[in-house]
């Protein structure tokens, strides 16, 4: 039997948060990734509709460079040969001490501009 629930990729390096978030989203088919490389592999394999993205991923867990790089890839349109040509919807997650910086950064991001 096919699972028709929408897909959700949780990109989070904290295993405790991964488990809690996965538990919260039982109406989705959920996949998890702890690193940028794992996230990109999951994106290619499953093409989730939504990506819940932690910005502070290793090796830059104190910054946002890895999270931003991952978001840029998840928001790009998918290959035409795949089932969907729409980019995933990315929800960015960052600690409150970085939230003002993250809002400014994403406001300028080309991936956030709508046509």
pLDDT tens readout for residues 49-103? 889 988 888 888 888 888 888 888 776 655 443 455 566 677 777 665 555 655 5
Closest alpha carbon to 21 in 81, 109, 104, 91: 91
pLDDT over 90 percentage in the chain: 34
Tokens of 110: 């080309």
Mean pLDDT for 23-51 is 92
Predicted pLDDT at 96: 53
| Burial state string for 7-27 with b = 16 or more CB within 10 A and e = fewer than 16 | bbbbbbbeeeebeebbeeeee
- The domain 7-112: what is its CATH number? 3.40.50.2300
**28 band by pLDDT with thresholds 50, 70 and 90:** very high
Predicted pLDDT at 107: 56
């Amino acid at each position: 039997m096919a699972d028709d629930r929408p897909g959700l990729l949780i990109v989070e390096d904290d295993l405790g948060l991964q488990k809690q978030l996965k538990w919260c989203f039982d109406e989705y088919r959920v996949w998890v990734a702890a690193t940028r490389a794992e996230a990109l592999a999951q994106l290619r394999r499953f093409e989730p509709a939504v990506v819940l993205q932690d910005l502070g991923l290793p090796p830059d867990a104190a910054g946002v460079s890895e999270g931003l790089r991952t978001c840029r890839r998840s928001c790009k349109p998918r290959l035409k040969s795949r089932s969907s040509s729409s980019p995933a919807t990315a929800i960015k997650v960052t600690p409150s001490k970085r939230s003002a910086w993250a809002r400014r950064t994403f406001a300028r991001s080309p991936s956030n501009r709508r046509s």
